[in-house]
């Protein structure tokens, strides 16, 4: 919620929230965008509530715009989290109390069913912004994340599981890599998401067979070895692959 509407409860639906797992790729590592709460200093996924006059997708798009300053984000709904005990005590309430905001505790502490979304963004273009409840909004590597509030660690793990499944039937990369990239960089992205090494020749052959890449005449400079060619995505074919799917798994 933005500061202007933070306590106007009548504008939001009861019992429904959303949590967003925002993935970025930087220095050959998969990153996740997290918020640090102002007073309890606990870490959480970006999220929010759904206004009376908006769809779930519109709410998720709004929240992501507020946290990343980006438009046209790749966004995918992946699971509903409805355990009756998942939000019995919301740490955000204590943050509000400590801030002197005098919140309606009963509204925040009611049962919320949360809809999970994952988003893929260009790390270099995102401008992380904290929300009213947080003092930091930062990228964290997966191996840096030990605990999160509520069931957010479960939501993160389920999002990663779904992202890995997506690799089997949809392309990934356009939203995570720079406009121009090398085949080794693309392979490293896939290996990082999958958590395993892939054969270089098989990977290149398979990616080229999808007809979603354009090899440029440019080579990446600055490396110690022979400079690899740069590639970019054929956006028309990439979008078709998102709609129609790919074949074969990893």
Indicate where the chain has its CATH 1.10.10.10 domain(s): 181-244
pLDDT tens column, 50-101: 999 999 999 999 999 999 999 989 999 999 999 988 866 666 666 666 666 5
| Average pLDDT across the chain, whole number | 88
CATH topology classification for 181-244:
Arc Repressor Mutant, subunit A (1.10.10)
- Given the candidates 3.40.190.10, 3.20.20.80, 3.90.79.10, 3.30.70.20, the CATH classification of the domain at 3-166 is 3.90.79.10
Q: What is the DSSP string of the chain?
A: --GGGTT-GGGEEEEEEEEEEEEEEETTEEEEEEEEETTT--EE--EEEEETTS-HHHHHHHHHHHHH--SS-EEEEEEEE--TTTTSS-HHHHHHHHTT----HHHHTS--EEEEEEEE--TTT------TTEEEEEEEEGGG----STTHHHHHHHHHHHHHHHTTTS---TTTS-SSEEHHHHHHHHHHHHTS---HHHHHHHHHHTT-EEEEEEE--S-SSPPPEEEEE-HHHHHHHHHH------
Query: 216, 180 in Cβ contact below 8 A?
Result: yes
Least confident of 102-106, 155-159, 246-250: 102-106
At 102 the pLDDT is 58
pLDDT tens column, 148-197: 998 999 999 999 999 999 988 899 999 999 999 999 999 999 999 998 99
pTM exceeds 0.85? yes
Q: Which of 104, 75, 96 is nearest to 3 (CA)?
A: 96
At 110 the pLDDT is 80
Mean pLDDT of 8-16: 82
Indicate where the chain has its CATH 3.90.79.10 domain(s): 3-166
Mean pLDDT of 30-34: 97
Tokens of 105: 């505790």
Query: 145, 43 in Cβ contact below 8 A?
Result: yes
């Amino acid at each position: 919620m933005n500061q202007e509407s933070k306590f106007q409860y009548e504008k939001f639906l009861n019992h429904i929230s959303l949590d967003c797992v925002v993935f970025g790729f930087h220095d050959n590592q998969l990153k996740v965008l997290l918020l640090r709460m102002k007073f309890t200093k606990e870490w959480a996924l970006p999220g929010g509530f759904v206004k009376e006059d908006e769809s779930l997708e519109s709410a998720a798009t709004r929240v992501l715009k507020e946290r990343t300053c980006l438009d046209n984000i790749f966004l995918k709904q992946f699971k509903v989290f409805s355990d009756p005990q998942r939000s019995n005590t919301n740490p955000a309430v204590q943050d509000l109390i400590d801030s002197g905001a005098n919140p309606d505790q009963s509204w925040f502490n009611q049962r919320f069913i949360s809809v999970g979304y994952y988003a893929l963004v260009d790390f270099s273009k995102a401008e992380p912004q904290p929300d009213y409840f947080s003092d930091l909004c930062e990228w964290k590597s997966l191996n840096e994340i030990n605990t999160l509030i509520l069931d957010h660690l479960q939501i993160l793990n389920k999002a990663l599981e779904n992202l890995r499944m997506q690799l089997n039937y949809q392309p990934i990369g356009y939203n995570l890599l720079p406009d121009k990239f090398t085949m080794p960089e693309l392979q490293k992205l896939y290996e990082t998401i999958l958590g395993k090494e892939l054969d270089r020749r098989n990977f290149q052959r398979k990616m080229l067979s999808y007809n979603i890449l354009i090899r440029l005449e440019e080579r990446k400079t600055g490396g110690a070895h022979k400079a690899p060619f740069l590639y970019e995505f054929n956006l028309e074919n990439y979008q078709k692959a998102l709609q129609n799917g790919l074949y074969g798994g990893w």
